[in-house]
Homo-oligomer: A and B are copies of this chain.
Amino acid sequence: MKTGVIGATGYAGVELVRLLTEHPNVDGLELSSVSYEGVRIEDVYPNLFKKVSAELKKADAVIETADVVFSSLPHGVGEVFAKACIECDKPFIDLSADFRFGNDEATFSLWYGKSYQYPELHGLSVYGLPELNRQTMKAKNGKVIVGNPGCYPTAVILGAMPALAKGLAGTGTIIVDAASGITGGGRDPTRAYHFPECADAMSPYKVGCHRHTPEIACNFAAIAGRAMPLVFTPHLAPMNRGILATIYIPLVDVLPSKEITVKTAEIHALYTEFYKDEPFIRVLPLGSVAVTNRVRQSNFCDISIHLDQTGSTLIVISVIDNMVKGAAGQAIQNMNIVCGFAEDAGLSAVPSLF
Protein backbone atom coordinates (compact mmCIF):
# COMPACT_ATOMS: atom_id res chain seq x y z
CA MET A 1 0.00 0.00 0.00
CA LYS A 2 1.12 3.53 -0.76
CA THR A 3 0.69 6.20 1.87
CA GLY A 4 0.88 9.92 1.35
CA VAL A 5 1.83 12.64 3.77
CA ILE A 6 0.76 16.20 3.03
CA GLY A 7 2.88 18.64 5.01
CA ALA A 8 5.69 16.17 5.49
CA THR A 9 8.33 18.62 6.69
CA GLY A 10 6.73 19.66 9.96
CA TYR A 11 7.66 17.68 13.04
CA ALA A 12 4.47 15.59 13.04
CA GLY A 13 4.87 15.05 9.30
CA VAL A 14 8.40 13.80 9.51
CA GLU A 15 7.51 11.61 12.49
CA LEU A 16 4.91 10.00 10.23
CA VAL A 17 7.63 9.50 7.63
CA ARG A 18 9.93 7.94 10.21
CA LEU A 19 7.31 5.51 11.48
CA LEU A 20 5.73 4.66 8.11
CA THR A 21 9.15 3.76 6.71
CA GLU A 22 9.23 0.74 9.00
CA HIS A 23 5.52 -0.12 8.70
CA PRO A 24 5.08 -3.68 7.43
CA ASN A 25 2.00 -2.89 5.32
CA VAL A 26 3.39 0.24 3.67
CA ASP A 27 5.51 -0.06 0.57
CA GLY A 28 5.63 3.46 -0.70
CA LEU A 29 5.66 7.01 0.62
CA GLU A 30 4.50 10.08 -1.28
CA LEU A 31 5.32 13.35 0.39
CA SER A 32 4.34 16.96 -0.13
CA SER A 33 5.50 20.28 1.23
CA VAL A 34 4.64 23.81 0.25
CA SER A 35 7.82 25.33 1.67
CA TYR A 36 10.17 22.73 0.24
CA GLU A 37 8.47 21.67 -2.99
CA GLY A 38 11.02 20.08 -5.29
CA VAL A 39 13.52 19.47 -2.50
CA ARG A 40 14.22 15.98 -1.18
CA ILE A 41 13.04 15.11 2.32
CA GLU A 42 16.48 13.77 3.28
CA ASP A 43 17.98 17.16 2.48
CA VAL A 44 15.53 18.84 4.82
CA TYR A 45 16.02 16.17 7.51
CA PRO A 46 19.54 14.74 7.24
CA ASN A 47 18.71 12.16 9.91
CA LEU A 48 16.79 10.38 7.13
CA PHE A 49 19.86 10.14 4.88
CA LYS A 50 20.26 6.63 3.41
CA LYS A 51 16.97 5.53 5.01
CA VAL A 52 14.31 7.61 3.29
CA SER A 53 14.63 9.23 -0.09
CA ALA A 54 11.74 11.11 -1.62
CA GLU A 55 11.10 14.30 -3.49
CA LEU A 56 8.66 16.70 -1.93
CA LYS A 57 5.79 17.22 -4.33
CA LYS A 58 2.54 19.13 -4.51
CA ALA A 59 -0.33 17.88 -2.35
CA ASP A 60 -2.38 17.01 -5.44
CA ALA A 61 0.30 14.68 -6.70
CA VAL A 62 0.37 12.92 -3.36
CA ILE A 63 -3.39 12.42 -3.29
CA GLU A 64 -3.35 11.05 -6.80
CA THR A 65 -0.78 8.36 -6.06
CA ALA A 66 -1.42 7.38 -2.47
CA ASP A 67 -4.00 4.89 -1.20
CA VAL A 68 -4.40 6.63 2.12
CA VAL A 69 -3.50 10.23 2.91
CA PHE A 70 -2.22 11.85 6.11
CA SER A 71 -2.42 15.60 6.36
CA SER A 72 -0.17 17.46 8.76
CA LEU A 73 -0.97 21.03 7.82
CA PRO A 74 -1.78 24.09 9.92
CA HIS A 75 -5.39 24.43 11.06
CA GLY A 76 -7.87 25.66 8.49
CA VAL A 77 -6.19 24.88 5.18
CA GLY A 78 -6.69 21.15 4.65
CA GLU A 79 -10.40 20.75 3.93
CA VAL A 80 -9.85 20.98 0.19
CA PHE A 81 -7.56 17.96 0.34
CA ALA A 82 -10.02 16.05 2.49
CA LYS A 83 -12.63 16.72 -0.18
CA ALA A 84 -10.33 15.46 -2.93
CA CYS A 85 -9.64 12.26 -0.99
CA ILE A 86 -13.27 11.57 -0.18
CA GLU A 87 -14.18 12.04 -3.82
CA CYS A 88 -11.80 9.25 -4.80
CA ASP A 89 -12.61 7.05 -1.79
CA LYS A 90 -9.30 7.42 -0.05
CA PRO A 91 -9.18 7.64 3.72
CA PHE A 92 -8.00 11.05 4.92
CA ILE A 93 -6.33 11.27 8.31
CA ASP A 94 -5.97 14.86 9.42
CA LEU A 95 -3.59 15.86 12.21
CA SER A 96 -4.91 19.43 12.38
CA ALA A 97 -7.93 20.48 14.43
CA ASP A 98 -10.16 20.86 11.38
CA PHE A 99 -12.04 17.60 11.76
CA ARG A 100 -12.03 17.16 15.51
CA PHE A 101 -15.42 18.75 16.12
CA GLY A 102 -17.71 16.89 13.70
CA ASN A 103 -20.73 18.99 12.91
CA ASP A 104 -20.13 21.37 15.79
CA GLU A 105 -18.91 24.22 13.61
CA ALA A 106 -19.82 26.78 16.25
CA THR A 107 -17.26 25.48 18.72
CA PHE A 108 -14.60 25.17 16.04
CA SER A 109 -15.22 28.71 14.85
CA LEU A 110 -15.26 30.16 18.35
CA TRP A 111 -11.84 28.76 19.19
CA TYR A 112 -10.09 28.65 15.84
CA GLY A 113 -11.57 31.77 14.24
CA LYS A 114 -12.47 30.02 10.99
CA SER A 115 -15.59 28.63 9.35
CA TYR A 116 -16.00 25.24 7.74
CA GLN A 117 -15.28 25.48 4.03
CA TYR A 118 -17.13 22.24 3.20
CA PRO A 119 -19.56 21.62 6.06
CA GLU A 120 -20.86 18.43 4.48
CA LEU A 121 -17.45 16.78 4.89
CA HIS A 122 -17.64 17.01 8.65
CA GLY A 123 -20.51 14.56 8.85
CA LEU A 124 -18.15 11.96 7.42
CA SER A 125 -15.50 12.66 10.01
CA VAL A 126 -14.71 10.67 13.13
CA TYR A 127 -12.74 11.88 16.13
CA GLY A 128 -9.81 9.53 15.86
CA LEU A 129 -9.32 8.33 19.39
CA PRO A 130 -9.36 4.57 18.82
CA GLU A 131 -10.19 3.72 22.41
CA LEU A 132 -13.38 5.77 22.05
CA ASN A 133 -14.31 5.51 18.39
CA ARG A 134 -12.67 2.41 17.01
CA GLN A 135 -15.97 0.84 15.91
CA THR A 136 -17.22 4.02 14.30
CA MET A 137 -14.06 4.29 12.25
CA LYS A 138 -14.30 0.69 11.14
CA ALA A 139 -17.93 1.11 10.16
CA LYS A 140 -17.05 3.80 7.66
CA ASN A 141 -15.51 1.14 5.42
CA GLY A 142 -12.70 3.36 4.30
CA LYS A 143 -14.86 6.35 3.29
CA VAL A 144 -13.73 8.33 6.22
CA ILE A 145 -12.10 11.50 7.41
CA VAL A 146 -10.29 10.96 10.68
CA GLY A 147 -9.83 14.00 12.87
CA ASN A 148 -6.69 12.90 14.70
CA PRO A 149 -6.87 14.14 18.31
CA GLY A 150 -4.67 16.83 19.75
CA CYS A 151 -1.76 15.77 21.91
CA TYR A 152 -3.13 17.06 25.20
CA PRO A 153 -6.68 15.77 24.57
CA THR A 154 -5.31 12.30 23.85
CA ALA A 155 -3.61 12.07 27.21
CA VAL A 156 -6.43 13.76 29.09
CA ILE A 157 -9.39 11.91 27.60
CA LEU A 158 -7.71 8.53 27.98
CA GLY A 159 -6.85 9.38 31.57
CA ALA A 160 -10.39 10.45 32.50
CA MET A 161 -12.53 8.19 30.33
CA PRO A 162 -13.09 5.24 32.70
CA ALA A 163 -13.93 7.54 35.60
CA LEU A 164 -16.36 9.57 33.53
CA ALA A 165 -17.94 6.60 31.78
CA LYS A 166 -18.50 4.82 35.07
CA GLY A 167 -19.95 7.78 36.91
CA LEU A 168 -17.21 8.39 39.45
CA ALA A 169 -17.09 12.13 38.88
CA GLY A 170 -19.12 14.48 41.02
CA THR A 171 -20.46 17.83 39.97
CA GLY A 172 -17.37 19.90 40.68
CA THR A 173 -14.86 21.19 38.20
CA ILE A 174 -12.31 18.84 36.70
CA ILE A 175 -8.87 20.46 36.81
CA VAL A 176 -6.33 19.36 34.23
CA ASP A 177 -2.76 20.52 34.66
CA ALA A 178 -0.49 19.36 31.87
CA ALA A 179 3.04 19.73 30.56
CA SER A 180 4.45 19.19 27.12
CA GLY A 181 7.87 18.69 25.62
CA ILE A 182 9.00 21.41 23.28
CA THR A 183 8.60 19.43 20.06
CA GLY A 184 4.92 20.13 20.62
CA GLY A 185 5.58 23.67 19.48
CA GLY A 186 6.64 22.53 16.04
CA ARG A 187 9.65 23.13 13.86
CA ASP A 188 9.58 26.90 13.39
CA PRO A 189 12.11 28.67 15.58
CA THR A 190 10.54 31.32 17.79
CA ARG A 191 11.67 32.96 20.99
CA ALA A 192 9.45 30.71 23.14
CA TYR A 193 11.33 27.67 21.86
CA HIS A 194 14.79 29.27 21.66
CA PHE A 195 17.07 27.05 23.73
CA PRO A 196 18.35 29.72 26.16
CA GLU A 197 14.82 30.90 26.91
CA CYS A 198 13.23 27.51 27.57
CA ALA A 199 16.03 25.30 28.83
CA ASP A 200 16.05 24.94 32.61
CA ALA A 201 12.60 26.57 32.86
CA MET A 202 8.92 25.74 33.32
CA SER A 203 6.51 28.01 31.46
CA PRO A 204 2.73 27.95 31.72
CA TYR A 205 0.95 29.26 28.63
CA LYS A 206 -2.59 29.89 27.47
CA VAL A 207 -3.54 29.61 31.14
CA GLY A 208 -7.17 28.57 31.39
CA CYS A 209 -7.84 29.31 27.72
CA HIS A 210 -5.94 26.83 25.52
CA ARG A 211 -7.69 25.64 22.35
CA HIS A 212 -7.52 22.04 23.44
CA THR A 213 -10.03 22.89 26.20
CA PRO A 214 -13.15 22.58 24.02
CA GLU A 215 -11.79 19.42 22.37
CA ILE A 216 -11.43 17.84 25.79
CA ALA A 217 -14.75 19.21 27.01
CA CYS A 218 -16.75 17.93 24.03
CA ASN A 219 -15.43 14.44 24.54
CA PHE A 220 -15.86 14.54 28.31
CA ALA A 221 -19.51 15.41 27.74
CA ALA A 222 -19.95 12.62 25.22
CA ILE A 223 -18.40 10.10 27.57
CA ALA A 224 -20.13 11.22 30.76
CA GLY A 225 -23.45 11.99 29.18
CA ARG A 226 -23.48 15.50 30.59
CA ALA A 227 -21.38 18.65 30.48
CA MET A 228 -18.41 18.49 32.83
CA PRO A 229 -16.95 21.77 34.12
CA LEU A 230 -13.30 21.81 33.05
CA VAL A 231 -10.25 23.97 33.62
CA PHE A 232 -7.16 23.15 31.59
CA THR A 233 -3.68 24.70 31.89
CA PRO A 234 -0.73 23.58 29.81
CA HIS A 235 2.94 24.17 30.58
CA LEU A 236 6.07 23.97 28.50
CA ALA A 237 8.69 21.68 30.07
CA PRO A 238 12.39 21.65 29.12
CA MET A 239 12.39 18.30 27.35
CA ASN A 240 11.97 17.17 23.78
CA ARG A 241 9.20 14.60 23.94
CA GLY A 242 6.33 13.79 26.22
CA ILE A 243 2.97 14.94 27.52
CA LEU A 244 2.11 14.61 31.17
CA ALA A 245 -1.46 15.28 32.28
CA THR A 246 -2.34 15.44 35.96
CA ILE A 247 -6.12 15.17 36.12
CA TYR A 248 -8.03 16.10 39.26
CA ILE A 249 -11.53 14.62 39.27
CA PRO A 250 -13.82 15.47 42.20
CA LEU A 251 -15.45 12.27 43.42
CA VAL A 252 -19.19 11.93 43.92
CA ASP A 253 -18.66 11.32 47.62
CA VAL A 254 -15.81 12.33 49.85
CA LEU A 255 -14.45 9.25 51.52
CA PRO A 256 -13.45 8.67 55.11
CA SER A 257 -9.67 8.48 55.31
CA LYS A 258 -9.64 4.86 56.35
CA GLU A 259 -11.39 3.83 53.14
CA ILE A 260 -8.90 5.46 50.82
CA THR A 261 -6.77 2.40 50.28
CA VAL A 262 -9.76 0.23 49.51
CA LYS A 263 -11.34 2.81 47.24
CA THR A 264 -8.09 3.38 45.34
CA ALA A 265 -7.87 -0.33 44.67
CA GLU A 266 -11.47 -0.38 43.43
CA ILE A 267 -10.89 2.46 41.03
CA HIS A 268 -7.66 0.88 39.88
CA ALA A 269 -9.52 -2.36 39.20
CA LEU A 270 -12.18 -0.45 37.29
CA TYR A 271 -9.53 1.21 35.09
CA THR A 272 -7.71 -2.07 34.54
CA GLU A 273 -10.91 -3.79 33.48
CA PHE A 274 -11.99 -0.87 31.30
CA TYR A 275 -8.79 -0.96 29.28
CA LYS A 276 -8.03 -4.67 29.47
CA ASP A 277 -8.19 -5.22 25.70
CA GLU A 278 -6.48 -2.03 24.64
CA PRO A 279 -3.11 -2.62 22.99
CA PHE A 280 -1.68 0.79 23.82
CA ILE A 281 -3.06 1.61 27.26
CA ARG A 282 -1.04 0.51 30.25
CA VAL A 283 -2.81 0.99 33.57
CA LEU A 284 0.17 0.85 35.90
CA PRO A 285 0.20 -1.33 39.01
CA LEU A 286 -1.06 0.38 42.15
CA GLY A 287 1.74 2.32 43.77
CA SER A 288 3.44 3.14 40.47
CA VAL A 289 3.41 6.63 39.05
CA ALA A 290 3.27 7.33 35.33
CA VAL A 291 6.30 9.28 34.04
CA THR A 292 6.93 10.53 30.54
CA ASN A 293 10.21 8.78 29.84
CA ARG A 294 8.73 5.32 30.22
CA VAL A 295 6.61 5.75 27.08
CA ARG A 296 9.28 7.52 25.04
CA GLN A 297 9.32 6.70 21.34
CA SER A 298 6.29 4.42 21.78
CA ASN A 299 2.56 4.56 21.16
CA PHE A 300 1.70 3.74 24.76
CA CYS A 301 -0.42 5.79 27.11
CA ASP A 302 0.56 5.04 30.72
CA ILE A 303 -2.01 5.77 33.40
CA SER A 304 -1.60 5.73 37.16
CA ILE A 305 -4.37 6.04 39.73
CA HIS A 306 -4.19 7.96 42.99
CA LEU A 307 -6.54 9.38 45.61
CA ASP A 308 -5.62 12.45 47.58
CA GLN A 309 -5.22 11.96 51.30
CA THR A 310 -8.58 13.53 52.10
CA GLY A 311 -10.41 11.16 49.79
CA SER A 312 -12.16 13.91 47.88
CA THR A 313 -10.33 13.82 44.61
CA LEU A 314 -9.28 11.18 42.15
CA ILE A 315 -5.91 12.07 40.70
CA VAL A 316 -5.08 10.40 37.42
CA ILE A 317 -1.64 10.75 35.85
CA SER A 318 -1.68 10.09 32.13
CA VAL A 319 1.43 10.24 29.97
CA ILE A 320 2.15 9.79 26.28
CA ASP A 321 4.90 10.54 23.80
CA ASN A 322 3.45 13.68 22.24
CA MET A 323 4.88 12.88 18.81
CA VAL A 324 3.70 9.24 18.78
CA LYS A 325 0.42 8.54 20.62
CA GLY A 326 -0.05 12.32 20.64
CA ALA A 327 0.33 12.72 16.88
CA ALA A 328 1.93 10.45 14.28
CA GLY A 329 1.63 7.13 16.09
CA GLN A 330 -2.05 7.58 16.78
CA ALA A 331 -2.60 8.61 13.16
CA ILE A 332 -0.99 5.37 12.07
CA GLN A 333 -3.07 3.44 14.59
CA ASN A 334 -6.10 5.05 12.94
CA MET A 335 -4.81 4.09 9.50
CA ASN A 336 -4.42 0.53 10.72
CA ILE A 337 -8.02 0.49 11.92
CA VAL A 338 -9.42 2.12 8.82
CA CYS A 339 -7.40 -0.10 6.46
CA GLY A 340 -7.97 -3.34 8.37
CA PHE A 341 -4.34 -3.90 9.38
CA ALA A 342 -3.26 -5.21 12.76
CA GLU A 343 -3.88 -2.25 15.04
CA ASP A 344 -0.30 -2.25 16.29
CA ALA A 345 1.32 -2.69 12.88
CA GLY A 346 4.33 -0.40 12.69
CA LEU A 347 3.81 0.66 16.28
CA SER A 348 5.47 -2.11 18.20
CA ALA A 349 8.51 -0.16 19.41
CA VAL A 350 9.50 -0.93 22.97
CA PRO A 351 9.61 2.35 24.92
CA SER A 352 13.10 3.68 25.33
CA LEU A 353 13.80 4.89 28.85
CA PHE A 354 16.34 7.39 27.50
Chain A: residues with CB nearer than 8 A to chain B? 11, 14, 17-18, 21-22, 45-52, 172-173, 175, 177, 179, 181-183, 187, 189-191, 193-205, 207-209, 213, 229-231, 233, 235, 237-242, 244, 246, 248, 250, 282, 284, 288-297, 300, 302, 304, 306-310, 312-313, 315, 317, 319, 323, 348-354
Q: Chain B contacts of A296 at CB under 8 A?
A: 47, 200
Shortest A257–chain B CB gap in Å is 11
B313 touches A173 (CB 8 A): yes
Assuming A182-B195, A203-B291, A235-B244, what are 10 further A-B pairs, CB within 8 angstroms?
A47-B352, A187-B191, A193-B194, A193-B196, A195-B238, A200-B200, A200-B293, A200-B296, A231-B313, A238-B239
Kindly state the separation between the CA atoms of A295 and B183 in the bound complex, as whole angstroms.
18
Kindly state the separation between the CA atoms of A340 and B353 in the bound complex, as whole angstroms.
30
Kindly state the separation between the CA atoms of A44 and B213 in the bound complex, as whole angstroms.
30
Q: Which among A177, A302, A353, A354 has the greatest number of chain B C-beta atoms within 10 A?
A: A354
Given A189-B194, A312-B229, A354-B183: A199 touches B47 (CB 8 Å cut-off): no
Q: List 27 A-B contacts (CB under 8 A).
A: A11-B354, A45-B353, A48-B350, A172-B172, A172-B173, A173-B250, A175-B177, A175-B248, A179-B202, A187-B194, A189-B193, A194-B194, A196-B353, A199-B239, A199-B240, A200-B293, A201-B293, A202-B319, A203-B289, A204-B289, A207-B246, A207-B315, A208-B306, A208-B307, A229-B312, A240-B354, A297-B352
**Closest residue of B by beta carbon distance from A313:** B231
Q: Chain B contacts of A190 at CB under 8 A?
A: 189
A213 touches B309 (CB 8 A): yes
Given A172-B172, A199-B199, A308-B209: A244 touches B294 (CB 8 Å cut-off): no
Kindly state the separation between the CA atoms of A15 and B182 in the bound complex, as whole angstroms.
25
**Closest residue of B by beta carbon distance from A14:** B353
Kindly state the separation between the CA atoms of A208 and B202 in the bound complex, as whole angstroms.
21
**Closest residue of B by beta carbon distance from A210:** B309
Kindly state the separation between the CA atoms of A201 and B310 in the bound complex, as whole angstroms.
28
A282 touches B49 (CB 8 A): yes
Kindly state the separation between the CA atoms of A348 and B246 in the bound complex, as whole angstroms.
35
Q: Which among A202, A289, A310 has the greatest number of chain B C-beta atoms within 10 A?
A: A202
A196 touches B231 (CB 8 A): no
B205 touches A289 (CB 8 A): yes
**Closest residue of B by beta carbon distance from A176:** B177
Q: Chain B contacts of A354 at CB under 8 A?
A: 11, 183, 196-197, 199-200, 240-241, 323
Q: Chain B contacts of A183 at CB under 8 A?
A: 196, 354
Kindly state the separation between the CA atoms of A242 and B313 in the bound complex, as whole angstroms.
27
Kindly state the separation between the CA atoms of A323 and B354 in the bound complex, as whole angstroms.
10
